[in-house]
Amino acid sequence: MITTWRDPKTEQSIVEDISLEEPWRLVEHFSTLTRLSGSEDEAKAVAYITGRLDDWGVPYVVHRPTCLISLPGPATLRTLGPAERSFRVKTPSFSPSTGGQEVTGELVYVPGRQASGIGDLFSAGRPAPPRDLRGKIVLTEGLGIAARGLDLAGSGAIAAIFINPGEGIHEGITTTSWGSPDLDSLGRVPPVPILAINHPDGEALKALLQEGLVQVAFSNQVEIGWRQIPVTVAEIAGAQAADEFVLFHGHLDSWHVGVGDNATGDATLLEIARVFHQHRDQLRRTIRMAWWSGHSHGRYAGSTWYADTFAIDLAENCVAHVNCDSPGCRWATEYRDVNWMAEAAELGREAIRDVTGQDATGERPLRAGDCSFNNLGISTYLMLSSTMPLDLVHEKGYYAVGGCGGNVAWHTEADTLEIADRDNLLRDMRVYATTLLRTLNAPIHPLDYRATVDEIEEQVGRYQAAAGDAFDFSPSLQATRNLRHTLDRFYGVAETLLGREVDDTAVRRTNTLQRMLARALVTLSYSRDGRFRQDPARSIPPLPDLAPATELADVAPGSDRYHVLRTHLTRGQNRLVWDLRRAERRIAETVE
Ligand SMILES: [Zn+2]
């Protein structure tokens, strides 16, 4: 089968050469560097990586794009009355700043909630609070990152303090502009300064409010500006189809010394570069390894710059991209809800089973991490890898975080050397190496887009059920079924090519069509802002053009909102049907 293709002998000889020596040296070195985007410490990290690449003769380029970066400075908070007391607070990247000037106001508590899971961390918040918050400083629960701060627009509040779920205060970023903004994504920052406070202090403030009026004074400083950041890209050319490539990438920048997030990922990238370069004669396609800057302080600015700058090359030749964030962390022994697109689920599951003996579970990739290639339509798998077992999470009283294998040291001063785990890192590196090798060497790309079409059909079915009689999705369902039938014939032929070479003419033609399918299906399924733009950094529902179907059941037929929704869905459906039909015809021409 296409998705289970493997070459055990080659695989074993390469995967066996992966060891901990080089990766652990990097992890130890990086545990001394606070790698803020564009900083001196980050430059030292780049020098370390390029130094090793030089030693081994791995070709690379360090790009220096100018991106919009925001570095949080100090923040203060104190109560003025009834009693005076200072609290420890942080402010996130891209928060509006008071420039260090104290601003005073009355504190009001607006009940919020903590994220229920990692997907929830990146989602939009509640609808705007119903109360009149003019001139008030809002105290609420949450991390204060991603889209939540935006919900205060129009409330009249002058600031918001988010109570984090635990002892630590998590660093974060508030803009929902994915990468540096263009005209479409300007203004995707919260309207007011954002602060974060830890749970005990937040509860103390809530207790004070129970007793009566509380006046507070706060200040923050946040630097925002266009600055040069380093983007390091190494390349090992494939021996047969060098134009076809896999992009393997992770972020170099960090909050504090960021060992679990993401020195372990940087080490994985470097070890794969070392070992794959040694075995370059056995690699049939090209692999590019990229260490991004601007992830933490530019909302994925480095990977987005790369997606923009190399858009045409990526759209034509990239087989898949693989994001490596937070592998090899302490206690992370399970592969649960691993992010992979439907077409890559089988590949990911098989590789994890072959390396670890575990049955992994997967989920649809979140709109997070450096997955800056959804609009371009590029398949992906393994954004995060191993994670802590749920019972251990509960036993420790941990809560949902966005990395570090589930350790709550994520995005805090505590993400130090003890968060990395040697055994888990070695195992995760072997998982990455195995999936990458199969993608690089399988004659037919080991991605099955029938699974993607099935996922689309199921999703349209769900939207139809939600919309009831208020909207007819049968043209979408018809188009998915037609494509599915044609793909059955296409993959029937493709299976017969598995014994051929990667540069065989029929193999190359088949793979070009597979990449064309990805450009249609991934783009439709994960984005709506156009192939060369970026959807916002907030959760994106499946087939976002059709997602408003879920609202239709709740609006009165004939109301203004009803007509707006139907107009929206008609346009969304046109896009879906058009793209599916075009893909279907191109495939049909080749299998007749
Ligand atoms: Zn990360």
What's the 264 CA to ligand 1 centre distance in angstroms?
A: 10
- Find out whether 36 and 229 touch, Cβ atoms under 8 Å: no
CA distances for 133 relative to 124, 138, 204, 274, 521, angstroms = 20, 8, 21, 56, 44
What's the 49 CA to ligand 1 centre distance in angstroms?
A: 18
What's the 543 CA to ligand 1 centre distance in angstroms?
A: 26
What's the 538 CA to ligand 1 centre distance in angstroms?
A: 16
pTM to 2 decimals? 0.96
Cα dihedral across residues 40, 42, 46, 51: positive or negative? positive
Enter the tokens of residue 379. Answer: 């398949």
Residue 532 CB-half CA count within 13 A: 7
What's the 327 CA to ligand 1 centre distance in angstroms?
A: 10
| Cis ω for the linkage preceding 82 (within 30 of 0) | yes
What's the 212 CA to ligand 1 centre distance in angstroms?
A: 41
| pLDDT given for residue 132 in this prediction | 79
What's the 403 CA to ligand 1 centre distance in angstroms?
A: 6
Helix (H) or strand (E) holding 584, with range, is helix 560-591
What's the 494 CA to ligand 1 centre distance in angstroms?
A: 37
Going by C-alpha positions, the residue among 172, 223, 167 that lies closest to residue 195 is 172
Q: What is residue 56's three-state secondary structure? A: helix
Strand order in the sheet with 136-141: 85-87, 66-81, 215-228, 103-109, 136-141, 159-163, 194-197, 89-90
What's the 335 CA to ligand 1 centre distance in angstroms?
A: 17
What's the 324 CA to ligand 1 centre distance in angstroms?
A: 8
Strand locations in 411-454 (E): none
Enter the tokens of residue 296. Answer: 């933490």
What's the 571 CA to ligand 1 centre distance in angstroms?
A: 36
Degrees to nearest 5, angle at CA 482 with 480 and 488: 100
Q: Token pair 């994925």 is at which residue?
A: 300
What one-letter code names the amino acid at 500? R
What b/e sequence results for 546-556 when a residue is b if at least 16 CB atoms lie within 10 Å of its CB, and e otherwise? bbbbebbeebe
Q: What is residue 84's three-state secondary structure? A: coil
- Find out whether 109 and 140 touch, Cβ atoms under 8 Å: yes
Enter the tokens of residue 490. Answer: 């296409």
Enter the tokens of residue 187. Answer: 């203004």
Give CA–CA dist 81/77, Å, rounded: 13
Give CA–CA dist 332/408, Å, rounded: 12
- Enumerate residue ranges in the chain where pLDDT < 70: 115-131, 145-151, 153
What's the 66 CA to ligand 1 centre distance in angstroms?
A: 21
CA distances for 268 relative to 265, 280, 379, 459, angstroms = 5, 17, 21, 35
The count of residues in the chain is 592
Give CA–CA dist 212/220, Å, rounded: 26
Give CA–CA dist 503/525, Å, rounded: 30
Please provide the DSSP assignment of 128-154 as one string.
PPSS--TTEEEEEES---TTGGGGGTT
What's the 250 CA to ligand 1 centre distance in angstroms?
A: 8
What's the 254 CA to ligand 1 centre distance in angstroms?
A: 8
Going by C-alpha positions, the residue among 252, 233, 398 that lies closest to residue 309 is 233
Q: What is residue 347's three-state secondary structure? A: helix
What b/e sequence results for 206-215 when a residue is b if at least 16 CB atoms lie within 10 Å of its CB, and e otherwise? bebeeeeebe
| pLDDT given for residue 133 in this prediction | 87
What b/e sequence results for 7-37 when a residue is b if at least 16 CB atoms lie within 10 Å of its CB, and e otherwise? eeeebeebbeebebebbbebbeebbebbbbb
The torsion angles phi and psi of 216, rounded to 5 degrees, stand at: -130, 160
Helix (H) or strand (E) holding 309, with range, is helix 301-309
> In angstroms, what is the C-alpha Rg of the chain?
24
| pLDDT given for residue 432 in this prediction | 97
| pLDDT given for residue 98 in this prediction | 97
| pLDDT given for residue 122 in this prediction | 57
Give CA–CA dist 219/205, Å, rounded: 17
Going by C-alpha positions, the residue among 79, 87, 76, 109 that lies closest to residue 209 is 109
| pLDDT given for residue 114 in this prediction | 72
- Find out whether 249 and 321 touch, Cβ atoms under 8 Å: yes
- Find out whether 326 and 265 touch, Cβ atoms under 8 Å: yes
What one-letter code names the amino acid at 571? R
Enter the tokens of residue 212. Answer: 């009566």
What's the 15 CA to ligand 1 centre distance in angstroms?
A: 25
- Find out whether 432 and 385 touch, Cβ atoms under 8 Å: yes
Going by C-alpha positions, the residue among 176, 186, 119 that lies closest to residue 145 is 176
